[in-house]
Amino acid sequence: MKKQILIVGLLMVSAITFGQKKEIKSAQKAIKNGDFSEAISTLKGVEGQISNAESSVKEYYYLVKGKAYLGSADNDYEKMNTSADAFEKVLSLNENSKYSAEAQLGLQETTNALLISAQLDQGVQQYLEGSKKIYRGYTLNKKDTIYLFYAASLAKDGQAYDDAIKYYEELINLSFTDIKEEFYATKKGTKEESKFDTADERNAALKKGEYVIPRSKFSKSKKGDILKNMTFIYIKKGENEKAALLMKKAREESPDDLNLMYAEAEMYYKSEDMINYKKVINEVIKKDPTNPDLYYNLGVASAKNDEKEAALNYYTKAIELNPNYTEALINKAQLILDGESEIVKEMNALGTSNADYDKYDLLKERKNDLYREALPYLESASKLRPDSLDIVRTLKGIYGLLGMDEKENLMKAIMEKNGGE
């Protein structure tokens, strides 16, 4: 009697297993026909029975589930994540499964889908969605640590600061730098240099005689960017001490790293510590003395510290290095014109005596001298930025005060044409 019951039980299990396989095959057929919704619906019908199924049936079920959800995912993170979980389940059940090759391929396809979708999210400024997708892609292939870097960057852009810090800390623990050898060669008969993806690709072009003068260089480390972004986040969170300690440690490890110097300077700038900011920028200038941006930034910092003469000198240096540096031209002109307020104040305080009238004329000429001094910088800036009505408006005012009627009328016409007043 017991033997009969056992046989009946085995027949029932066999029947259930057969039914499950039949449904899974039906789902797979729907996938081949592009009907992913039908496939998912069919799989849900046997979902409750899978936990008690044979391992081979489970492996088959999760493989088909991964395909169904990936096929219907589009930009839906939850479906891509379900797909990834399913393919991972196949391999966790049996890494030597007959479905393991398909599961591995499925994981790669899911990774690609996550990354492509994340790029779309970034394009429409959906940074948190993009970060989540890239991070999931990273978990599927942790050798590609660059994905973790991008996930952190998007989390920062989306102001998910805790996630960004977590990812950046993981990168630091992994000693991530993303330093790569880059391959270059010059196109024959020109001075145009091209970059190649691999040394073999460049060497093939050299052998064909299309390129000459091969050279290689290593890309910059991303460690400076990581620490820079981390300090930015700590400052945003009001954790200035953490930011300072992190930067101090980084500078001790790499005292000559130019990227870290820039990061430290930005840290001080964002925390409005202009004294230390200027100190670091001056240190950077020793390594990069022909960079006009550095002098411009020192000019901004000096102006914030009410160090007018120093600021003017720095703006002048920036303009010497780059005569078309619009912001430096505008800032220098503005700083010169700032002297007008004191002169006007002094003029308004004068009385009605003959001596006061004489002094008024002298002060008026001093004020006009300021206008004449600022004028060339504003005119140069206006040529570089012709659409700026603010510059045109300022020029119009100065021309009027200096009695330069023709130029004043020209500025007035420009403003009227562009809807200005």
Does the structural domain 15-124 have CATH classification 1.25.40.10?
A: yes
Given this model, what pLDDT does residue 76 score? Answer: 95
Given this model, what pLDDT does residue 151 score? Answer: 97
SS3 sequence of the chain: CHHHHHHHHHHHHHHHHHHHHHHHHHHHHHHHCCCHHHHHHHHHHHHHHHHHCCHHHHHHHHHHHHHHHHHCCCCCHHHHHHHHHHHHHHHHHCCCCCCHHHHHHHHHHHHHHHHHHHHHHHHCCCHHHHHHHHHHHHHHCCCCHHHHHHHHHHHHHCCCHHHHHHHHHHHHHCCCCCCCEEEEEEECCCCCEEEECCHHHHHHHHHCCCEEEEEEEECCCCHHHHHHHHHHHHHHCCCHHHHHHHHHHHHHHCCCCHHHHHHHHHHHHHCCCHHHHHHHHHHHHHHCCCCHHHHHHHHHHHHHCCCHHHHHHHHHHHHHHCCCCHHHHHHHHHHHHCCHHHHHHHHHCCCCCHHHHHHHHHHHHHHHHHHHHHHHHHHHHHHHCCCCHHHHHHHHHHHHHCCCHHHHHHHHHHHHHCCCC
What backbone phi and psi angles, to 5 degrees, belong to 241? -65, -40
Given this model, what pLDDT does residue 315 score? Answer: 95
* Maximal CA-CA distance, the chain: 134
Given this model, what pLDDT does residue 243 score? Answer: 87
Cα torsion 328, 334, 339, 345 to 10°: value is -170
| pLDDT tens string 358-373 | 888 898 899 999 999 9
Tokens of 247: 């930067």
Tokens of 29: 């057929």
- Report how far residue 243's alpha carbon sits from residue 254's, in angstroms, rounded to the nearest whole number: 17
- Whether the model clears a pTM of 0.75, i.e. scores above it, the answer is no
Domain-wise residue ranges, the chain:
15-124, 181-218, 290-385
Q: Which residues lie across from 211 on neighbouring strands?
A: 187
| Residue type at position 327 | E
Name the residue among 254, 246, 76, 228 with its Cα closest to residue 152: 228
Given this model, what pLDDT does residue 37 score? Answer: 93
Q: What angle do CA 106, 108, 111 make, to 5 degrees?
A: 110
Given this model, what pLDDT does residue 5 score? Answer: 46
Given this model, what pLDDT does residue 19 score? Answer: 60
Q: What angle do CA 385, 391, 396 make, to 5 degrees?
A: 130
Name the residue among 395, 401, 399, 400 with its Cα closest to residue 378: 395
Which residues of the chain are modeled with pLDDT < 70? Answer: 1-19, 420-421
Q: Residue 19: CB partners within 8 Å, gap ≥ 6? A: 46
Angle between helices 2-32 and 36-46 (to 10 degrees): 170
- Report how far residue 174's alpha carbon sits from residue 284's, in angstroms, rounded to the nearest whole number: 28
- Report how far residue 275's alpha carbon sits from residue 282's, in angstroms, rounded to the nearest whole number: 11
For the domain covering 290-385, report its CATH number: 1.25.40.10
Given this model, what pLDDT does residue 237 score? Answer: 87
